[in-house]
Amino acid sequence: MAEKVAVIQMVSSKDTEANLAQAGELIAQAASQGARLAVMPENFALIESGQIRALAEEELLHGRLSNWLAAQAKAYGIWLVAGSTPALLRPDGSKIEDGRVRSRLLVVDDGGAVAASYDKRHLFDVDVGDALSSYRESERFEPGEDVVVVDSPVGKLGLSICYDLRFPAHYQRLRDLGAEILLVPAAFTKVTGEAHWEVLLRARAIENQCYCLGAGQGGVHSPKRETWGHSMIIDPWGKVLGCHEWGEGVVVADVNLDKVKQLRADMPVWQHRRDSWR
């Protein structure tokens, strides 16, 4: 049986209220098209990193983002994936005291409860040939450790964030844990996205015989920050079912887990692996 899912593309700014208003409109669009699950991009609520710790403090004290997500999910009867939110507390409850935060994906069910969370494991410490030039996420973020799969009405969701996409072992572990749909909220730069975004998404889908939902930022955020966009939904054969190239927007497509099961039966690559670490 097919279920509709959505990826939401945004052009977030340093204005959290404006970002939430933009996200709310796009969630409404996704729900109106019948989506049972909608994935928002990385940094959906704030893309200005200088304010990220302050937003994390506000979230810890008042639940600003989690309360907003719960209200949206309940209002539209939809599962929401918050591509990343800043978190001060580790999963064990200890507080990060060195000025950094964790980049945390939240999966919120249609009743407004947090069904799962995932802290970004791979941090983007690279030099890129764009106006910003250098990215050092480890200066602002502490990496997570856990690999997370969660049940949902549309299938088993394997969680990741942005730069994780370049590490195939992460997704192989998600498949080992039962993932049927890989979620990749992101804010790929224009330079790296143009070169690698689609090919990496399609590779992860094909390698793991999973649907892949890539929800990106897609536009000009400041004179030095531009993201690639091209949010897309990909089937387990690597076919792009829908893509929104630029600016804010929504892509909705059907996910059919019978296709996943049939493909895995016809081409049982997981049984053919000869990796010594398994």
Give the span between the Cα atoms of 216 and 276, in whole angstroms. 35
Rg, C-alpha atoms of the chain: 17
Edge-first strand order for the sheet with 155-158 is 149-152, 155-158, 181-186, 211-216, 231-234, 240-244
Q: How many helices (H) and strands (E) does the chain have?
A: 8, 16
Q: In the block, which residue shows the tokens 């799969």?
A: 149
Q: In the block, which residue shows the tokens 């729900």?
A: 31
Please choose, from the candidates 51, 37, 33, 26, the residue with its C-alpha nearest in 3D space to the C-alpha of residue 150: 37
Q: Which amino acid is at 15?
A: D
Q: Which two tokens stand for residue 104?
A: 């945390």
Give the span between the Cα atoms of 46 and 184, in whole angstroms. 18
Q: In the block, which residue shows the tokens 């208003």?
A: 21
3-state class (DSSP) for residue 146: coil
3-state class (DSSP) for residue 175: helix
Q: Which two tokens stand for residue 111?
A: 């009743």
Give the span between the Cα atoms of 210 and 182, in whole angstroms. 7
Beta bridge partners of 156: 151
Residues carrying an active site annotation: 42, 120, 162
